[in-house]
Amino acid sequence: MIGIYYSAFTWLIRHDWEREDYSYAYLIPFIVLYLVWDKRDKLAEFRSRVSWKGLIPFVIGLFLFWLGELGGEYFSLYVSSWLILVGICWIHLGWTKLKALAFPLFITLAMFPLPSFLYNRVTLELKLISSKIGVDMMQWFGMSAFREGNIIDLGFTQLQVVDACSGLRFVIPLLILSLLMAYFYRAALWKRIVLVLSSVPLSIVTNSLRIALTGFFYEIWGQKVAEGFFHGFSGWIIFITSVVVLLLEIGILRLLPPKKVRSGNNRKFNQEQDQSETEKKVSSDKNPWLPMKSAQFIVITILLCITLIISQTFDFREKVPMAESFADFPLKIGQWAGNRQVLEQKFIDELDFTDYVMIDFRKTDGKQINFYVAYYESQRKGESIHSPASCLPGSGWSFEQAGISQLNVPGFYSGSIPVSRAFMKKGDSQQLVYYWFPQRDRILTNLYQLKLYTFWNALTKQRTDGALVRLITPVYSKENIDQAEERIKAFGAEIVPVLMKFLPGSRG
């Protein structure tokens, strides 16, 4: 198992756990070991009973391994390793011991970061919520503060709610801590559920308070309160405050009925214990090597060895044909003349694409369309396309309309292609956005389709290359949305045939 997941766990420790949002994960293995040790007496009461039922999560785990290995998603590999671990425990220990280990195994999932597309979406939403509540707090106390997306305008300066203020850095650790508190808190089930559920809004509110305090103190002490030691220290203070609130919440819950846990809460387990006397250890059946001689052990060993040999022996390197560089993309398309734009290096590093092009095209009537393409030669293991649906709202744009439209492209893709369409507003500004994901000979419109076809192409074609294409046009003051739609469709019909030359494997 170590050989199969060596590269995934190396990435987990050296890359994922190095991110500040997941720095707490270093503690999870020690917490799990303690939880297992705490169950040692209960585990010792019953002997291990091998079971074929453990093959169910085991086989699902193997499937997710290949889905992650070929489809380029580390999260699938992490969940795969967890399912295989659960399957092995079930096979060798039996259902009774597996139930005793249920909570430690569940907490093990906290070691794994969310998949990239979900992480980006959740982080964005939490940033927007935190910044909105933070601005409301500032306004309640008489400050002049306004918000556009995750940018807060204080009049004398602007604050950007970056990932460090997203709230995700507080939500997950506080949620894990509340789960541990609820686990050791001997109280009615509903009280423990309330304790766990309250951790999420608590972390968001306290993080919003941190943002509001940053705005208050910025005017006094300047930029240093929004970065470096002061910023990190304030985060610790807010987290400790959240923990204190959870402890106070436990104190309040203790005052509510029922104030004591009835012994009947453990009646079911005691009955199972009494009925399982035949499962208890006896001196004549203490052979620790017995499970390793079972047919189940032989089967899972063979499956793991086959998986290891295939993953290490067969050549899964991607075979991507050469294509023209976007540096040669023409700046003249019909009546449209373009001005090439350059992304800041920090965005290039974050998006991690192979090549890109961004051009502002302007027609003779002065109307403009921004054309952007990001090409990924590989979408495996950490390199994946970012959707505009996750990025644009962070800069203050709100989606008023979103759906799927058709872009007519005569002579290509059966005459038309599906595209995601969004009409957005920010203050008095309006714009229309079309975007889609060319994936070899397919046009996709959402990231879930993209993940599925990335896996299929990796399995059948040894390729995961793909691209994001985005068109944005303003809705000018003297025109309506239908005129903007007509303009973007006409431009798309002209630009797609040209773009085909620059994307490997695309077909008409």
How are beta strands 466-474 and 368-376 bridged, if at all?
Answer: antiparallel
Q: Are residues 107 and 53 in the same domain?
A: yes
* CB-based contact 126:197 (threshold 8 Å): no
The per-residue pLDDT for range 388-433, each reduced to its tens digit, is: 766 665 555 666 667 899 998 887 777 889 999 988 887 778 899 9
The answer to whether position 415 is within a domain reads: yes
Q: Are residues 483 and 336 in the same domain?
A: yes
Q: Are residues 356 and 453 in the same domain?
A: yes
Q: Are residues 305 and 372 in the same domain?
A: no
Q: Which residues contact 284 (CB under 8 A, 6 or more apart)?
A: none
- Express as a percent the part of the chain with pLDDT over 90: 31
Tokens at 368, concatenated: 């403009």
Tokens at 350, concatenated: 């974050």
Domain assignment of residue 44, given as a range = 2-112+263-280+287-313
* CB-based contact 470:375 (threshold 8 Å): no
Rounded distance between C-alpha atoms, residue 100 and residue 276, angstroms: 14
The set of long-range contacts for 443-449, using a CB threshold of 8 Å and a minimum separation of 24, is 443/413, 443/417, 443/418, 443/419, 445/404, 445/418, 445/419, 445/420, 446/387, 446/420, 447/117, 447/385, 447/387
Q: Are residues 248 and 120 in the same domain?
A: yes
Q: How confident is the model at residue 52 (pLDDT cuts 50, 70, 90)?
A: confident
Dump the DSSP string for 126-166: HHHHHHHHHHHHHHHTT---EEETTEEE-SS-EEE--GGGS
The answer to whether position 508 is within a domain reads: no
The answer to whether position 367 is within a domain reads: yes
* CB-based contact 394:124 (threshold 8 Å): yes
Question: What per-residue confidence (pLDDT) applies to 84?
Answer: 95
The answer to whether position 320 is within a domain reads: no
- With 90 as the cut, is the pLDDT of residue 110 above it? yes
Q: Are residues 432 and 485 in the same domain?
A: yes
Which of 177-181, 235-239, 381-385, 474-478 has the lowest average pLDDT?
381-385
The answer to whether position 102 is within a domain reads: yes
- With 90 as the cut, is the pLDDT of residue 384 above it? no
Rounded distance between C-alpha atoms, residue 184 and residue 177, angstroms: 11
The tally of domains found in the chain comes to 3
Q: Are residues 335 and 482 in the same domain?
A: yes
The answer to whether position 141 is within a domain reads: yes
Q: Are residues 202 and 276 in the same domain?
A: no
How are beta strands 416-426 and 368-376 bridged, if at all?
Answer: unpaired
Q: Are residues 276 and 330 in the same domain?
A: no
H-helix or E-strand spanning residue 293: none
The answer to whether position 507 is within a domain reads: no
Q: Are residues 347 and 458 in the same domain?
A: yes
Q: Which residues contact 91 (CB under 8 A, 6 or more apart)?
A: 50, 51, 52, 54, 55, 58, 291, 296, 297, 300
- With 80 as the cut, is the pLDDT of residue 137 above it? yes
* CB-based contact 24:53 (threshold 8 Å): no
- With 90 as the cut, is the pLDDT of residue 490 above it? yes
- With 50 as the cut, is the pLDDT of residue 274 above it? no
Give the 3-state DSSP-derived string for 60-116, with helices as H, strands as E and coil as C.
HHHHHHHHHHHHCCHHHHHHHHHHHHHHHHHHHHCHHHHHHCHHHHHHHHHHCCCCH
Neighbouring C-beta atoms of residue 162, cutoff 10 Å: 12
The per-residue pLDDT for range 286-320, each reduced to its tens digit, is: 555 555 567 877 888 888 888 888 877 765 555 66
Q: Are residues 384 and 498 in the same domain?
A: yes
Q: Are residues 190 and 336 in the same domain?
A: no
The answer to whether position 435 is within a domain reads: yes
- With 80 as the cut, is the pLDDT of residue 199 above it? yes
For residue 484, the domain's CATH number is 3.40.1000
